[in-house]
Structure 1
Amino acid sequence: MDEAVTTTSGPVAGRRRDGVREFLGIPYAADPVGPLRFALPRPPEPWDTPLPAGSPGPAAPQAPSRLESVMGRPGGTVAERGCLTVNVWAPEDGTDLPVLFWIHGGATVSGSGGWEWYRGARLAAENGIVVVTMNYRLGALGFLYPAELTDRLGPGNLGLHDVALALEWTAANVAAFGGAPDAITVGGQSAGAQLAGLLAATERTRPLVRRVLLQSSAPETQMPTADEATEAARQYFAALGADPADADAVRALEATEFVDAYRRMPPSGGLLMPLGITRTSEVPWPDLRTAFAEAVSPEVDLLIGVTSDEAHAFRYPRRADAAPWTRAADDLTETLFRAPAQRLAEDRAAIGHPAYGYEFAWRAGEIGAAHGIDLPFLFGTFDAWADAPMLGDADRAGLRPLAAAFGGAVAEFVRSGRPSHPALPLWPAGGSVLRVDTTSAVQDGWAWKPSI
């Protein structure tokens, strides 16, 4: 174990590994159990003796991801107690370093910032930045919104409140790890990108955000209204077989019962994520693009990216008739990811602060450059993705130069607001987009059409 670092809750003892100081599983909030289930997160009880921070906390309760057929199995433990933690990787002896606060995806029902997939050691060590990942409550435990019961079962969007508290913890403590609290980039992938964008928009956390990284953010995905979310909650409680009016009984259920009930929940009014982020007085926007237009400072730098074949992840394995399958997946990629990303980038250009854009195009096999393919390249954690079908049988060691270039460019964005790397073409802002591949190139706009 390394020397202890003092945080606002107490000292934590990490370790030195791979050229960084690593502090894992630090509680930023009290365990969301008992009376704190369905409650707003609150800081943990302080401690006096150094807390061992050598391993990440468990993932929040969840079912296996539907994308395991593409991304593989992450491993790790799942538990409600001890899940609200942060992980910090900081270069040795660094001070006043830029910070990447990164949020995992998983449609707000799965994922963990403590998985080896997202280990930030290489990204931090190779690029001189501090990397912070975290966990937040998922599924019904994090995003249930029965409007008529918010006085007994919380105000909804608890997962977003978790993320906000973790960001506040980071701003208050990152200097002790060598980071600069006034140079924080919030970033994430998929649902994590939506949460990151909302941190830059909501009044509570807006002052803490200098830059935003949006990976596969689908920024025009509609968030449920309070009425829609309440109806989804009614359907959920029917699947749970519990009376929401009996809050004490609901809080006493096992976490696995909440996860199993989500699997039994019927489709809810065509909502993409019925237990996702709900429109409330704190989150009044219908989608992330609108939140940027109305609430994100024009001075906030933005790096936004998609993958060439996003929706192939959702439609894998292929059905018998490959051609219609591919066309449908390509159309969904265009309408859900690429075109909305372009419009958000155009919005930023219109206010005089152009965004940087990328399309991650590296692909292996029939899955293509699917949703999530940029993640192992960002973190350089190919060993942890050993069984990921989306990487096919590609030589993982041979992918490291592209990972170093992509991760390095993102780190330069965290540092300066402009992504760049010597191994990549000059990365333009505005209407041009960098197509990232083993041979990367600048393309005119977001019009690249994949064909595999």
Structure 2
Amino acid sequence: MTDKIEKETEKEIGKEAEKETEKKIGKEAEKEIEKKIRKEIVKEMKQEMKKSEIQPESGESSKMIGTPCGAVRGTVSAKGDCIVYKGIRYANAKRFQYPEEVTHWDGIYEADRFGNCSYQPRAFYDEAKVPEKAFYYHEFREGESYTYSEDCLFLNIWAPLEAENAPVLFYIHGGGFKGGCGHEKHFDGAAYCRQGILVVTINYRLGPLGFACMEEWKDEAGHAGNYAMYDQMAALSWVRRNIAAFGGNPDRITLMGQSAGAMSVQQHCLSPLTKGSICGAIMMSGGGVREGFAAAASLKDVEPFWRELDLRVTEACGKGLREAEPSVIFEEFNALSKERPDAAMVCGPIVDGAFLPEPAMEIVRNGGAHEIPYLMGSTSEDIVPPIVHKMAKGWARLQSDLGRCPSYAFFFDRQLPGDDRGAWHSADLWYEFGTLENSWRPFEAWDRELSDCMVRCFANFIRTGDPNGGGLPQWLPVKKGQNRVMRFGDKTAAMGYVSIAKLNHTMRTKPSVGE
């Protein structure tokens, strides 16, 4: 009897195991079939759209392609070196609610102009007349025009002319989480397209519209806040679903960001929600995790500030943050920020239990950081140069100590020619995007050589996770016993040491500029 029961039990267990195996195989097969169907649809739509390419009156050709969302038309750049798709809507979002990704549109999406930037402080005043804003305005935005709106979830794509399965650079702009957009004149993807890389830049909600949160605003899942970070995730998700139609490889996406954009990249590299979505990360003048610094706050830490702002906005116009005009919100936000020393910390990612399940250092200790290659760096006159440099180099070193992917660090100290000479915060962007010609500065032959070197190093990293190759200066990963970094400076692009004493002196004696 016992033998019979044992045989029956074994039989049942075997059947269950077979069912589980079949179920697992079935799911994997379904995924594979779905992937193949998506590829076939994109292929058919590409062939159909190729027949519909037209030449506009300006003489620049346009190109129409089919995507899982529908047809989209972009334009060939003035130099004829890439196809540009501007202002593609990737999501919709109501105020203080999480974004809903765009999955379909009717007709042809005309991607011929940049989308709205998020409302931000500079939308409500003439920054040319504000002394503390004049430097960056003159450097990056003078002569440009922008439209601002809450309806701002748009992205831009620069694709090589004959792109097929190209690596993707996904860029997140900086601006202290309170300003900026993805189409300022120093951001242009053409230099990377010439390296066979497809470039994406995005707009996302900023300031109080991207980060204000209160307990009663929690959704059904019990989450509130981090709206800007979820915008970025929605853009990344849209890109993964659609980028193959533009000639990109959805499995070869490298995140890149500067300043607050770098901090954003760092948080995505700690989040379980983006795991498996990216294959590498580049962080300039931001990012890195260090004990006691850059620890994300929680809802209870930031809620008092937002409640006070809500009260002030209500007193000013009779409506709270949910209903008030953006102009009133930002006017009161600016005034309150000047009074409250903690204001700088409230506009930024918080531990919300989902995107960031716990503080950054805890995620690192528990092995939750993404195991991908990192490339990080800073400038010699960053806002707090010693700290920014140490955090960048420290994060790269940590990857080595943990036995993970090789990671690389750089230091930019080229003194930009012209007025306000220096290697201030954001000075490196002209070089990293290969957009020197968009600047008013009297750049020299060396600047063009240096920019070309930096773009090629970054392009190598985006392609392979390693900046080396193609006759470029050897770039060693940071590890125990190897403390040099790549120096991009005056007449030099080579491995070298960085003097912390000199950075401390710079911080004490030279006023920093930052945005």
Give TM-score scaled by structure 2 length: 0.75
CA distance in 1, matches of 2:287, 2:68: 36
The corresponding residue for 1:280 is 352
Runs of at least 5 residues in structure 2 that lack an aligned partner in the other structure: 1-60, 511-515
The one-letter amino acid of 2:304's match is E
The corresponding residue for 2:300 is 227
Task: State percent identity of aligned pairs.
Answer: 28
The corresponding residue for 1:439 is 492
Residues 359 and 296 (structure 1 numbering): CA distance in 2 closer, same or farther, change over 3 Å?
Answer: farther
Q: Kindly indicate whether the alpha-carbon contact (under 8 Å) linking 1:183 and 1:210 is maintained by their aligned counterparts in 2.
A: yes
Residues 249 and 449 (structure 1 numbering): CA distance in 2 closer, same or farther, change over 3 Å?
Answer: closer
The corresponding residue for 1:241 is 314
Kindly report the root-mean-square deviation, in angstroms, between the aligned alpha carbons of the 2 structures: 2.7
The corresponding residue for 2:257 is 188
CA distance in 2, matches of 1:426, 1:296: 31
Q: What secondary structure sits across from 2:168 in the alignment? A: strand
The one-letter amino acid of 1:374's match is D
Residues 94 and 360 (structure 1 numbering): CA distance in 2 closer, same or farther, change over 3 Å?
Answer: same
Q: What secondary structure sits across from 1:51 in the alignment? A: strand
Number of positions where the alignment pairs a residue of Structure 1 with one of Structure 2: 417
Q: Kindly indicate whether the alpha-carbon contact (under 8 Å) linking 2:71 and 2:107 is maintained by their aligned counterparts in 1.
A: yes
Which of 375, 388, 410 is the aligned partner of 2:429? 375
Matched, 1:24 2:86: yes
Q: Kindly indicate whether the alpha-carbon contact (under 8 Å) linking 1:232 and 1:275 is maintained by their aligned counterparts in 2.
A: no
Residues 384 and 225 (structure 1 numbering): CA distance in 2 closer, same or farther, change over 3 Å?
Answer: same
The superposition leaves residues 408-433 of structure 1 with CA deviations (integer Å, 9 ceiling, x where unpaired) of 11111000111136574201001321
Aligned 1:27-426 pairs, distance under 5 A: 27-30=89-92, 32=93, 36-44=94-102, 46-64=104-122, 68-70=134-136, 72-74=139-141, 75-80=144-149, 82-125=151-194, 127-151=195-219, 155-219=224-288, 220-241=293-314, 250-266=321-337, 267-268=339-340, 270=342, 272-282=344-354, 283-287=356-360, 291-292=363-364, 294=366, 296=368, 299-311=371-383, 332-335=384-387, 337-353=388-404, 354-364=406-416, 368-386=422-440, 393-395=441-443, 399-420=447-468, 424-426=472-474
Runs of at least 5 residues in structure 1 that lack an aligned partner in the other structure: 312-331, 387-392
Q: Which has the larger radius of gyration?
A: 2
Give the superposition deviation at 1:385: 3.2
Residues 277 and 298 (structure 1 numbering): CA distance in 2 closer, same or farther, change over 3 Å?
Answer: closer
Give the superposition deviation at 1:52: 0.7
Q: What secondary structure sits across from 2:208 in the alignment? A: helix
Q: Kindly indicate whether the alpha-carbon contact (under 8 Å) linking 2:150 and 2:205 is maintained by their aligned counterparts in 1.
A: no
CA distance in 1, matches of 2:468, 2:349: 33
CA distance in 2, matches of 1:58, 1:398: 36
Q: What secondary structure sits across from 1:241 in the alignment? A: helix
Give the superposition deviation at 1:45: 6.9
Q: Kindly indicate whether the alpha-carbon contact (under 8 Å) linking 2:89 and 2:154 is maintained by their aligned counterparts in 1.
A: yes
The corresponding residue for 1:449 is 502
CA distance in 1, matches of 2:413, 2:161: 34
Q: Kindly indicate whether the alpha-carbon contact (under 8 Å) linking 1:99 and 1:183 is maintained by their aligned counterparts in 2.
A: yes
By relative contact order (CA 8 Å, sep 6+), the higher-ranking structure is 1
Q: What secondary structure sits across from 2:255 in the alignment? A: strand
The one-letter amino acid of 1:13's match is R
Residues 363 and 239 (structure 1 numbering): CA distance in 2 closer, same or farther, change over 3 Å?
Answer: farther
The one-letter amino acid of 1:308's match is S
Residues 357 and 351 (structure 1 numbering): CA distance in 2 closer, same or farther, change over 3 Å?
Answer: same
CA distance in 2, matches of 1:224, 1:68: 31
The corresponding residue for 1:3 is 63
Residues 258 and 117 (structure 1 numbering): CA distance in 2 closer, same or farther, change over 3 Å?
Answer: farther
The superposition leaves residues 206-235 of structure 1 with CA deviations (integer Å, 9 ceiling, x where unpaired) of 110110111111534232222111012122
Q: Kindly indicate whether the alpha-carbon contact (under 8 Å) linking 2:76 and 2:82 is maintained by their aligned counterparts in 1.
A: yes
Give the superposition deviation at 1:78: 3.0
Residues 157 and 298 (structure 1 numbering): CA distance in 2 closer, same or farther, change over 3 Å?
Answer: closer
Give the superposition deviation at 1:443: 1.5
CA distance in 2, matches of 1:218, 1:8: 34
Give TM-score scaled by structure 1 length: 0.84
CA distance in 2, matches of 1:308, 1:421: 26
Give the superposition deviation at 1:352: 1.5
Q: Kindly indicate whether the alpha-carbon contact (under 8 Å) linking 1:39 and 1:154 is maintained by their aligned counterparts in 2.
A: no
Give the superposition deviation at 1:406: 0.5
Q: Kindly indicate whether the alpha-carbon contact (under 8 Å) linking 1:303 and 1:355 is maintained by their aligned counterparts in 2.
A: yes
The superposition leaves residues 280-299 of structure 1 with CA deviations (integer Å, 9 ceiling, x where unpaired) of 11213434x65555455563
Q: Kindly indicate whether the alpha-carbon contact (under 8 Å) linking 1:27 and 1:82 is maintained by their aligned counterparts in 2.
A: no
Residues 446 and 209 (structure 1 numbering): CA distance in 2 closer, same or farther, change over 3 Å?
Answer: farther
Residues 296 and 271 (structure 1 numbering): CA distance in 2 closer, same or farther, change over 3 Å?
Answer: farther
The one-letter amino acid of 2:380's match is S
Give the superposition deviation at 1:397: 6.3
CA distance in 1, matches of 2:62, 2:362: 45
